[in-house]
């Protein structure tokens, strides 16, 4: 039987990020309690979605999102955890794609991941974000599903 050899990424930054991928490492490296508005603004530059799309992703009304932004109130609890997960996804995606527009176009494109059809709405759940992150990891290593 012939063994398949996969090329490892040349970038040590990618390798270092992948080394901290297990959930326990993720939880210990991120304070999940809060997600400041300044971080949200930075994230929204990496993932340039509309306010309506962000509200849908976070399961809050558009008006509530506007209040968070106006009052500079940090996101808490599950919203903060979801945003931390999306920030990690954005960093991985931007290491795979050349620019923000290419990554955004890929996120919006329907894709089949492990036999499931995944669309943009997958970003609304923790599991969906993880499926997309896993697919990016497979792209980094040249493993296709």
Q: Could you give the CA distance from residue 63 to residue 68 in angstroms, rounded to a whole number?
A: 9
Q: Could you give the CA distance from residue 133 to residue 22 in angstroms, rounded to a whole number?
A: 12
Question: Stretch 93-109: mean pLDDT, rounded?
Answer: 95
Contact 136, 89 (CB under 8 A): yes
Q: What is the pTM of this model?
A: 0.78
pLDDT tens profile 113-142? 777 888 899 999 999 999 999 999 999 988
In this prediction, residue 8 carries a pLDDT of 54
Q: Residue 89: CB partners within 8 Å, gap ≥ 6?
A: 129, 132, 133, 136
- Residue 54 exposed, middle or buried by CB count within 10 Å (0-12, 13-18, 19+): buried
pLDDT tens profile 9-33? 555 555 445 444 545 445 544 566 8
Residue 20 backbone dihedrals phi, psi, to 5 degrees? -105, 20
Q: Does residue 63 have a pLDDT over 90?
A: yes
Q: What are the residue boundaries of the structural domains of the chain, listed by start?
A: 12-141
Q: Could you give the CA distance from residue 87 to residue 54 in angstroms, rounded to a whole number?
A: 13
Question: Stretch 98-117: mean pLDDT, rounded?
Answer: 90
């Amino acid at each position: 039987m012939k063994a398949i050899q996969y090329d490892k990424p040349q970038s040590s930054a990618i390798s270092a990020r992948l080394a901290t991928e297990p959930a326990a490492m993720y939880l210990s490296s991120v304070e999940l309690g809060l997600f400041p508005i300044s971080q949200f603004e930075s994230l929204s530059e990496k993932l340039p979605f509309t306010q309506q799309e962000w509200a849908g992703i976070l399961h809050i009304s558009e008006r509530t999102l506007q209040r968070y932004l106006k009052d500079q109130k940090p996101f808490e609890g599950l919203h903060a955890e979801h945003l931390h997960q999306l920030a990690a996804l954005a960093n991985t995606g931007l290491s795979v794609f050349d620019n923000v527009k290419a990554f955004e176009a890929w996120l919006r494109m329907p894709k089949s991941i492990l036999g499931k059809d995944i669309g943009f709405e997958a970003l609304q759940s923790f599991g969906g974000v993880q499926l997309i992150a896993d697919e990016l990891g497979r792209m980094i290593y040249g493993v296709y599903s």
